[in-house]
Amino acid sequence: MKEPIVYFKRYTTGHPSAMISGDPYFEITKIEGAVFFEVSKEEGSKATRCVSVGDRLTMDQAYQCSIDAHAIVEPVYPN
């Protein structure tokens, strides 16, 4: 079976979208070979949630996805 591929957008610190949220984040833009990934709700937490296209993730949650899939990250800079 082929390894899934997940595409992320990474909003940089200077991007207005990241400035509003207070923390740079990753957004899943596309998934090939899978429908969703299970990630922990909070760092060190046993509780999990399912994430799919359009969901925004923290650095730790994006790392958890990259363990199970090939991750491609596209940085998004302010204009």
Write the pLDDT tens digit of every residue in 6-34. 999 987 766 666 566 666 688 999 999 98
Q: Can you tell me the distance from the alpha carbon of 74 to that of 26, in angstroms, rounded to the nearest whole number?
A: 9
Residue 22 carries which DSSP code? Answer: T
Q: Supply the pLDDT for residue 48.
A: 92
Q: Supply the pLDDT for residue 29.
A: 94
Q: Supply the pLDDT for residue 46.
A: 82
Torsion sign, CA atoms 22, 26, 28, 30: positive
Global pTM exceeds 0.85:
no
Q: Supply the pLDDT for residue 77.
A: 78
Return the SS3 of 13.
coil
